[in-house]
Amino acid sequence: MNVYLGDRTADTVITYFNAAGNDIIKKFLPQKAKTVEKALEDYEQSLLPDAKSYGRTIWAENKYIGDIWCYCIDFNETPNAMISYCIFNTDYWGKGVMTTALKLFLKEIYDRYGFKTVGAFTYMENVSSVRVLEKCGFNCLEKISEEGIISGYYQRYLSQENHMELSQFFRSIVDQDRCGVVICNLRHEIIYMNPAAVNRYVKWGGAKLIGKNLLSCHNKKSAEMIKRIVCWFGEGRENNMVYTAHNEKENKDVYMVALRGDDGELIGYYEKHEYRDREKMEPYRFE
Protein backbone atom coordinates (compact mmCIF):
# COMPACT_ATOMS: atom_id res chain seq x y z
CA MET A 1 0.00 0.00 0.00
CA ASN A 2 1.32 3.44 -0.93
CA VAL A 3 1.51 5.53 2.25
CA TYR A 4 2.95 9.04 2.25
CA LEU A 5 2.81 12.32 4.16
CA GLY A 6 1.39 15.60 2.87
CA ASP A 7 1.01 19.23 3.89
CA ARG A 8 -1.64 20.39 6.31
CA THR A 9 -4.01 23.03 4.96
CA ALA A 10 -7.03 24.85 6.31
CA ASP A 11 -9.22 22.37 4.45
CA THR A 12 -7.50 19.31 5.95
CA VAL A 13 -7.75 20.87 9.42
CA ILE A 14 -11.51 21.18 9.01
CA THR A 15 -11.79 17.65 7.62
CA TYR A 16 -9.74 16.24 10.50
CA PHE A 17 -11.69 18.14 13.15
CA ASN A 18 -15.01 16.81 11.88
CA ALA A 19 -13.79 13.25 11.27
CA ALA A 20 -11.90 12.81 14.54
CA GLY A 21 -14.86 13.88 16.62
CA ASN A 22 -16.50 10.44 16.76
CA ASP A 23 -16.79 8.67 20.11
CA ILE A 24 -14.38 5.81 19.24
CA ILE A 25 -11.50 8.16 18.48
CA LYS A 26 -12.24 10.57 21.34
CA LYS A 27 -12.04 7.65 23.79
CA PHE A 28 -8.33 7.28 23.02
CA LEU A 29 -7.43 10.75 21.73
CA PRO A 30 -9.47 13.66 23.12
CA GLN A 31 -9.26 16.72 20.88
CA LYS A 32 -7.52 19.77 22.28
CA ALA A 33 -9.55 22.17 20.10
CA LYS A 34 -13.21 22.21 21.03
CA THR A 35 -14.32 24.20 18.00
CA VAL A 36 -13.26 24.24 14.36
CA GLU A 37 -12.34 27.91 14.77
CA LYS A 38 -9.90 27.02 17.55
CA ALA A 39 -8.48 24.18 15.43
CA LEU A 40 -7.83 26.64 12.59
CA GLU A 41 -6.24 29.10 15.01
CA ASP A 42 -3.86 26.40 16.29
CA TYR A 43 -3.02 25.50 12.71
CA GLU A 44 -2.10 29.12 11.91
CA GLN A 45 0.14 29.19 14.99
CA SER A 46 1.97 26.09 13.74
CA LEU A 47 3.00 27.98 10.58
CA LEU A 48 4.92 30.68 12.46
CA PRO A 49 8.75 30.63 12.34
CA ASP A 50 9.07 29.94 16.08
CA ALA A 51 6.19 27.46 16.22
CA LYS A 52 6.34 24.81 18.95
CA SER A 53 4.47 22.26 16.84
CA TYR A 54 4.69 20.76 13.38
CA GLY A 55 2.24 18.48 11.64
CA ARG A 56 1.68 16.48 8.48
CA THR A 57 -1.26 14.73 6.87
CA ILE A 58 -1.33 10.96 6.30
CA TRP A 59 -2.33 9.62 2.90
CA ALA A 60 -2.94 6.06 1.71
CA GLU A 61 -4.07 5.04 -1.76
CA ASN A 62 -4.35 8.78 -2.56
CA LYS A 63 -6.87 9.28 0.26
CA TYR A 64 -6.43 11.68 3.16
CA ILE A 65 -6.94 9.44 6.20
CA GLY A 66 -5.30 11.09 9.23
CA ASP A 67 -2.78 13.43 10.83
CA ILE A 68 0.55 13.09 12.63
CA TRP A 69 2.28 15.87 14.52
CA CYS A 70 4.89 16.81 17.09
CA TYR A 71 4.35 19.43 19.78
CA CYS A 72 6.04 20.97 22.85
CA ILE A 73 9.21 21.43 20.76
CA ASP A 74 12.05 22.35 23.13
CA PHE A 75 15.71 21.53 22.43
CA ASN A 76 16.61 22.14 26.09
CA GLU A 77 14.32 19.40 27.35
CA THR A 78 14.21 15.62 27.12
CA PRO A 79 12.36 14.70 25.02
CA ASN A 80 12.85 17.46 22.45
CA ALA A 81 9.24 17.03 21.32
CA MET A 82 6.16 14.90 21.87
CA ILE A 83 4.51 12.88 19.12
CA SER A 84 0.84 12.27 18.48
CA TYR A 85 -1.10 10.75 15.61
CA CYS A 86 -4.54 9.65 14.49
CA ILE A 87 -6.01 7.79 11.53
CA PHE A 88 -9.64 8.88 11.46
CA ASN A 89 -10.58 6.63 8.53
CA THR A 90 -11.27 3.33 10.29
CA ASP A 91 -11.03 1.42 7.00
CA TYR A 92 -7.26 1.77 7.36
CA TRP A 93 -6.96 0.57 10.95
CA GLY A 94 -4.96 -2.60 11.56
CA LYS A 95 -3.19 -2.51 8.19
CA GLY A 96 0.20 -1.20 9.24
CA VAL A 97 -0.46 2.26 7.82
CA MET A 98 0.21 4.11 11.06
CA THR A 99 3.51 2.31 11.59
CA THR A 100 4.67 3.30 8.12
CA ALA A 101 3.50 6.90 8.60
CA LEU A 102 5.27 7.23 11.95
CA LYS A 103 8.55 5.90 10.51
CA LEU A 104 8.30 8.46 7.70
CA PHE A 105 7.52 11.27 10.14
CA LEU A 106 10.38 10.40 12.50
CA LYS A 107 12.86 10.59 9.64
CA GLU A 108 11.36 13.87 8.47
CA ILE A 109 11.49 15.63 11.83
CA TYR A 110 15.01 14.34 12.46
CA ASP A 111 16.13 15.82 9.13
CA ARG A 112 14.15 19.03 9.73
CA TYR A 113 14.96 19.72 13.40
CA GLY A 114 17.76 17.36 14.40
CA PHE A 115 15.83 16.09 17.42
CA LYS A 116 17.73 13.71 19.68
CA THR A 117 14.71 12.41 21.58
CA VAL A 118 10.96 12.27 21.08
CA GLY A 119 8.25 11.03 23.43
CA ALA A 120 4.65 9.89 23.25
CA PHE A 121 1.82 9.06 25.61
CA THR A 122 -0.80 6.42 24.91
CA TYR A 123 -3.46 4.58 26.88
CA MET A 124 -2.19 1.06 27.56
CA GLU A 125 -5.58 -0.37 26.62
CA ASN A 126 -5.03 1.09 23.14
CA VAL A 127 -3.08 -2.00 22.11
CA SER A 128 -2.79 -0.90 18.48
CA SER A 129 -1.09 2.36 19.45
CA VAL A 130 1.26 0.55 21.82
CA ARG A 131 2.30 -1.79 19.01
CA VAL A 132 2.88 1.10 16.62
CA LEU A 133 5.24 2.77 19.10
CA GLU A 134 7.13 -0.45 19.82
CA LYS A 135 7.53 -1.26 16.12
CA CYS A 136 8.97 2.21 15.60
CA GLY A 137 11.64 1.78 18.27
CA PHE A 138 9.96 3.49 21.24
CA ASN A 139 10.52 2.08 24.73
CA CYS A 140 8.08 2.36 27.62
CA LEU A 141 9.81 4.28 30.40
CA GLU A 142 6.88 4.82 32.72
CA LYS A 143 3.29 3.83 33.37
CA ILE A 144 0.92 6.24 35.07
CA SER A 145 -2.45 5.41 36.58
CA GLU A 146 -5.06 8.16 36.74
CA GLU A 147 -8.62 7.44 37.81
CA GLY A 148 -8.11 3.77 37.05
CA ILE A 149 -6.80 4.39 33.51
CA ILE A 150 -3.20 3.38 32.82
CA SER A 151 -1.17 5.48 30.39
CA GLY A 152 2.30 4.67 29.13
CA TYR A 153 5.07 7.17 28.47
CA TYR A 154 7.23 6.04 25.55
CA GLN A 155 10.48 7.55 24.35
CA ARG A 156 12.84 7.06 21.45
CA TYR A 157 16.30 8.36 20.62
CA LEU A 158 16.75 9.63 17.07
CA SER A 159 20.47 10.34 17.22
CA GLN A 160 21.42 6.87 16.03
CA GLU A 161 20.49 5.97 12.47
CA ASN A 162 19.90 2.34 13.32
CA HIS A 163 18.32 2.85 16.76
CA MET A 164 14.96 1.54 15.58
CA GLU A 165 16.46 -1.70 14.40
CA LEU A 166 18.69 -2.01 17.47
CA SER A 167 15.71 -1.64 19.80
CA GLN A 168 14.13 -4.67 18.18
CA PHE A 169 17.36 -6.64 18.62
CA PHE A 170 17.67 -5.63 22.27
CA ARG A 171 14.04 -6.53 22.98
CA SER A 172 14.57 -9.94 21.39
CA ILE A 173 17.73 -10.56 23.46
CA VAL A 174 15.85 -9.88 26.69
CA ASP A 175 12.76 -11.83 25.64
CA GLN A 176 14.81 -14.93 24.86
CA ASP A 177 16.84 -14.86 28.09
CA ARG A 178 16.08 -17.95 30.17
CA CYS A 179 16.46 -15.87 33.34
CA GLY A 180 13.62 -13.67 34.47
CA VAL A 181 14.10 -9.96 33.71
CA VAL A 182 11.96 -7.43 35.55
CA ILE A 183 12.57 -3.77 34.66
CA CYS A 184 11.48 -0.93 36.94
CA ASN A 185 11.44 2.84 36.60
CA LEU A 186 12.62 5.22 39.30
CA ARG A 187 9.20 5.08 40.95
CA HIS A 188 9.85 1.36 41.47
CA GLU A 189 6.96 0.55 39.13
CA ILE A 190 7.34 -2.61 37.08
CA ILE A 191 7.28 -1.52 33.43
CA TYR A 192 8.42 -4.73 31.72
CA MET A 193 8.71 -8.47 32.37
CA ASN A 194 10.23 -10.88 29.87
CA PRO A 195 8.46 -14.22 29.25
CA ALA A 196 10.75 -16.04 31.72
CA ALA A 197 9.83 -13.56 34.47
CA VAL A 198 6.12 -13.80 33.68
CA ASN A 199 6.34 -17.58 34.01
CA ARG A 200 8.49 -17.47 37.18
CA TYR A 201 6.15 -15.13 39.02
CA VAL A 202 2.89 -16.53 37.66
CA LYS A 203 1.53 -17.45 41.10
CA TRP A 204 1.91 -13.82 42.15
CA GLY A 205 0.08 -12.57 39.08
CA GLY A 206 2.54 -12.97 36.19
CA ALA A 207 2.06 -10.25 33.58
CA LYS A 208 -0.53 -8.57 35.82
CA LEU A 209 2.37 -7.38 37.97
CA ILE A 210 3.27 -4.86 35.24
CA GLY A 211 2.27 -1.45 36.55
CA LYS A 212 2.55 -2.58 40.18
CA ASN A 213 5.08 -1.19 42.64
CA LEU A 214 8.01 -3.57 43.13
CA LEU A 215 8.45 -2.52 46.75
CA SER A 216 5.01 -3.87 47.62
CA CYS A 217 6.23 -7.31 46.47
CA HIS A 218 8.99 -7.35 49.13
CA ASN A 219 9.17 -7.23 52.90
CA LYS A 220 10.06 -3.96 54.61
CA LYS A 221 13.76 -4.78 55.00
CA SER A 222 14.19 -5.77 51.34
CA ALA A 223 12.21 -2.72 50.16
CA GLU A 224 14.47 -0.39 52.13
CA MET A 225 17.57 -2.07 50.70
CA ILE A 226 16.23 -1.65 47.14
CA LYS A 227 15.70 2.05 47.78
CA ARG A 228 19.22 2.39 49.20
CA ILE A 229 20.72 0.72 46.13
CA VAL A 230 18.79 2.98 43.73
CA CYS A 231 19.95 6.04 45.68
CA TRP A 232 23.54 4.79 45.32
CA PHE A 233 23.01 4.34 41.58
CA GLY A 234 21.97 7.97 41.41
CA GLU A 235 25.10 9.22 43.22
CA GLY A 236 27.44 8.52 40.32
CA ARG A 237 27.35 7.24 36.76
CA GLU A 238 29.99 4.66 37.64
CA ASN A 239 27.65 3.08 40.24
CA ASN A 240 25.93 0.46 38.12
CA MET A 241 25.80 -2.95 39.82
CA VAL A 242 25.29 -4.36 43.31
CA TYR A 243 25.53 -8.02 44.28
CA THR A 244 22.49 -8.81 46.44
CA ALA A 245 22.29 -12.54 47.10
CA HIS A 246 23.24 -16.12 46.25
CA ASN A 247 20.40 -18.57 45.72
CA GLU A 248 21.80 -21.88 46.96
CA LYS A 249 18.86 -23.94 45.74
CA GLU A 250 19.15 -22.68 42.17
CA ASN A 251 22.93 -22.08 42.35
CA LYS A 252 22.75 -18.56 41.03
CA ASP A 253 23.99 -15.10 42.01
CA VAL A 254 21.64 -12.13 41.96
CA TYR A 255 22.50 -8.52 41.20
CA MET A 256 20.69 -5.19 40.86
CA VAL A 257 21.79 -3.30 37.75
CA ALA A 258 21.32 0.38 36.89
CA LEU A 259 19.71 1.39 33.59
CA ARG A 260 20.83 4.68 32.06
CA GLY A 261 19.81 6.84 29.12
CA ASP A 262 22.10 8.08 26.36
CA ASP A 263 23.06 11.05 28.55
CA GLY A 264 24.12 8.74 31.40
CA GLU A 265 21.27 9.75 33.67
CA LEU A 266 19.66 7.01 35.75
CA ILE A 267 16.29 5.96 34.28
CA GLY A 268 15.58 2.71 36.08
CA TYR A 269 16.98 -0.64 37.15
CA TYR A 270 16.56 -4.39 36.81
CA GLU A 271 17.49 -7.59 38.64
CA LYS A 272 20.17 -9.74 36.96
CA HIS A 273 20.43 -13.49 37.58
CA GLU A 274 23.56 -15.49 36.75
CA TYR A 275 23.38 -19.28 37.05
CA ARG A 276 26.58 -21.13 38.03
CA ASP A 277 25.55 -24.62 36.91
CA ARG A 278 27.29 -26.15 33.93
CA GLU A 279 25.16 -26.15 30.79
CA LYS A 280 23.37 -29.48 30.26
CA MET A 281 22.49 -28.83 26.64
CA GLU A 282 24.47 -30.84 24.10
CA PRO A 283 26.73 -28.65 21.93
CA TYR A 284 25.28 -27.82 18.49
CA ARG A 285 22.12 -29.85 19.01
CA PHE A 286 19.45 -28.43 16.69
CA GLU A 287 16.27 -29.51 18.44
Name the percent of the chain lying above pLDDT 70: 96
pLDDT for position 162: 46
Cβ atoms 128, 27 nearer than 8 A: no
pLDDT at 28 > cutoff 80 = no
pLDDT at 26 > cutoff 80 = no
Residues 44-48: contacts with CB under 8 Å, at least 24 apart: 46/8
Greater pLDDT, 24 or 51: 51
Q: For the segment 239-250, what is each residue's pLDDT rounded down to a tens digit?
A: 999 999 999 999
Name the percent of the chain lying above pLDDT 90: 51
Query: What values do phi and psi take at 195, rounded to 5?
Result: -55, -35
What's the N-to-C CA distance of the chain in angstroms? 38
Q: For the segment 157-180, what is each residue's pLDDT rounded down to a tens digit?
A: 886 544 555 567 788 888 899 899
Q: For the segment 31-76, what is each residue's pLDDT rounded down to a tens digit?
A: 777 888 988 998 999 899 889 999 999 999 999 999 999 999 998 8
What average pLDDT is seen over the chain? 88
pLDDT for position 165: 54
Q: For the segment 205-224, what is each residue's pLDDT rounded down to a tens digit?
A: 888 898 889 999 899 999 99
Structure confidence at residue 146 as a pLDDT band (50, 70, 90): confident
**CA–CA gap between residue 94 and residue 129 (Å, rounded):** 10
Stretch 15-33: mean pLDDT: 78
pLDDT for position 32: 75
